[in-house]
Amino acid sequence: MTNTARDLVHSNASEISGALGLHALNNKFNLAGAPDFANDLEVLNYALTLEYLEAAFYKQGNAANLTSGVEKEYLATIQSDEETHVSALTDTIKSLGGTPVAAPGVDFGESFASRDSYLQTSHVFENLGTSAYLGAAGFIKDKAILQAAASIFGVEARHAAVIGNLLGLKAEGGVYMGAFETPKDKATVLAAATPFIKQMPGSMPVGGVQTGGGSTSGGPNTGAIVGGIALLGAAGAAAVAARRYAHDDAT
Amino acid sequence: MAGEERIFGGKPVLEFSTSTDRRKFLKMAGLVGFGATFVAGGLLGGAGVAGASPANIMRGAAPAAGMEGDLEILNYALTLEYLEADFYAQGLAAGKLSGRELELVTPIEDHEKTHVSGLTDTIKSLGGTPATKPKITYPDGTFASRDSFLKTASVFEEVGVTAYHGQVPLIKSVDILAAAASIAGVESRHAAVIASLIGGKPFPSPFEAHADMATVLKAVKPFLS
């Protein structure tokens, strides 16, 4: 690759039209303001936090023994997938000379009260994770890391679809989320994940997920939680958020 | 893995309507030689250097060459989407599915059609010429039963997923990359759902596999011999 004076993104973005082009342009690359991620390590640590959250979620959920048969097998594989993502991301961050973020404290509230609430929250998580990877992909500069991140993204999409089917959700809008996956930016993703995060690790490396998270990281995070509820939609998630409020009051 | 798959048992599937399209498609296969070398040999080093400087963000090769490569990739994707869209249209028309299975497969045809039109629009907007729809023929019996239809669909979807992931590091424009990735994720959903319908593995690996054009073409292009 040779570097040229022209920036491919900015020189071509305005020329793209049609469904795909419009969709791609939603991916934030051309918006004013600070980018969500300054470098690949920031993206990887962001992904690692989300994978930690997912791995912990399935570990607890599967331990609650709420499912059986093929459903149980699927969920065991999903847990294993998320754990593999955690270790792969950790190794990659280390190999790049970075410091992997620590696992966040988690609180999944009433998510494991029943098989339905478990799967409903899982469905939210997986779709959120899928959108998070897509929203971050454009910031990755190293093509090998990009391919690895994309390969995780696809697996999260698989999880999301199958969980949606286990729940018997309608095909379009439940199992599939349209003909194109939708990217979400970091602030939106973190707002949605906030109800599940009890505490972020105290010593986040520079560029950890708290930086640039804006309202999600400090002060009264009511706004973030409300945003999270709106985004999550699922009843189970709302219950979790309510519990999160109670937890805040108690501490 | 997917590279060893042979759709339709290696029987002829596609015929191109014009020799130009056939040449274009064959040319893509030639492109793979470059791509594969690029990935295996120079990618990590080269990208690492580029990634070292924030000034290099999102900058690729010379624009003309970069866009040419992206257009080739988009036309490759378009050809595969044409094949998928046609496959589901015929499969659903055969009427072997019902109930929840029908409900789950029907949107897939819509998605593939939307991918065809989205890719076509994108190629045009970039000044390229979209590949035309290939003439497609299926071996007898492909749509004769629910099992045959869904099993073939499963192979198709897995190949489609690996095809997109194989192109990820080769796409130069981030916007095109985002668009291609947003399609790839949907193909992953299809692959997982179809696999679960036939008692296969919806999550065959923690990471999606990727295949270069040569491997994918080998799976779908016995007709090119």
Q: Which of A88-92, A209-213, A217-221, A229-233 has the lowest mean pLDDT?
A: A229-233
Selected residue with higher pLDDT from A219 and B104: B104
Selected residue with higher pLDDT from A105 and B26: A105
Of A21, A150, A161, the CB nearest to B122: A21
What pLDDT is stored for residue A198 in this prediction?
83
pLDDT of B174 strictly over 90 = no
Q: Which of A89-93, B58-62, B203-207 has the lowest mean pLDDT?
A: B58-62
C-alpha triplet A9, A15, A21: angle, nearest 5°: 80
A199-203, B79-83, B94-98 — which one is most confidently predicted on average? B94-98
What pLDDT is stored for residue A157 in this prediction?
98
Cβ pair A69, A20 in contact under 8 A: no
User: Which residues does B222 contact at the CB level (< 8 Å), separation at least 6?
Assistant: B6, B8, B10, B11, B12, B13
pLDDT of A189 strictly over 90 = yes
User: Which residue do the tokens 């219950």 mark?
Assistant: A239
Residues of A in contact with B108 (CB under 8 A): 176
Cβ pair A135, A50 in contact under 8 A: no
pLDDT tier at B220, thresholds 50, 70, 90: confident
Of A24, A162, A177, the CB nearest to B176: A24
HEC assignment per residue over chain B: CHHHCCHHHHCCCEECCCHHHHHHHHHHHHHHHHHHHHHHHHHHHHHHHHHCCHHHCCCCCCHHHHHHHHHHHHHHHHHHHHHHHHHHHHHHHCCCCCHHHHHHHHHHHHHHHHHHHHHHHHHHHCCCCCCCCCEECCCCCCCCCHHHHHHHHHHHHHHHHHHHHHHHHHCCCHHHHHHHHHHHHHHHHHHHHHHHHCCCCCCCCCCCCCCCHHHHHHHHCHHHC
Q: What is the pTM of this model?
A: 0.75
- Rounded mean pLDDT of A26-31? 41
- Rounded mean pLDDT of A50-57? 97
What pLDDT is stored for residue B20 in this prediction?
60
The reply to whether residue B62 touches residue A4, judged by beta carbons under 8 angstroms, is yes
pLDDT of A219 strictly over 80 = no
Interface probe for A, chosen from B174, B176, B197, B205 (most Cβ of A below 10 Å), is: B174
- For residues A84 and A81, what is the distance between their CA atoms, to the nearest angstrom? 5
pLDDT of A29 strictly over 90 = no
Provide the percentage of residues in chain A whose pLDDT is more than 90: 63
- Rounded mean pLDDT of A130-146? 94
User: Which residues does A80 contact at the CB level (< 8 Å), separation at least 6?
Assistant: B206
What pLDDT is stored for residue A197 in this prediction?
87
Reported ipTM: the value is 0.77
What pLDDT is stored for residue B8 in this prediction?
56
What pLDDT is stored for residue B96 in this prediction?
98
What pLDDT is stored for residue B79 in this prediction?
92
Residues of A in contact with B203 (CB under 8 A): 74, 77-78, 81, 155, 158-159, 162
Closest CA relative to residue A190, chosen from A135, A233, A109, A240 = A135
Largest CA distance in chain A: 58
pLDDT of A225 strictly over 90 = no
The reply to whether residue B59 touches residue A4, judged by beta carbons under 8 angstroms, is yes
Provide the percentage of residues in chain A whose pLDDT is more than 70: 66
How does the average pLDDT of chain B come out, rounded?
77
H runs (alpha helix) in A96-234: 115-137, 143-166, 186-193, 222-232
In Å, how far is B225's CA from the nearest CA of chain A? Answer: 31
What pLDDT is stored for residue A202 in this prediction?
52
Q: Which of A90-104, A171-185, A215-229, B142-156 has the lowest mean pLDDT?
A: A215-229
The reply to whether residue B103 touches residue A158, judged by beta carbons under 8 angstroms, is no
In Å, how far is B136's CA from the nearest CA of chain A? Answer: 23
In Å, how far is B85's CA from the nearest CA of chain A? Answer: 12
pLDDT of A132 strictly over 50 = yes
Selected residue with higher pLDDT from A248 and B61: A248
In Å, how far is A153's CA from the nearest CA of chain B? Answer: 7
Residues of B in contact with A171 (CB under 8 A): 103-104, 106-107
pLDDT of B26 strictly over 80 = no
Q: Which of A186-190, B4-8, B136-140 has the lowest mean pLDDT?
A: B4-8
Cβ pair B220, B162 in contact under 8 A: no
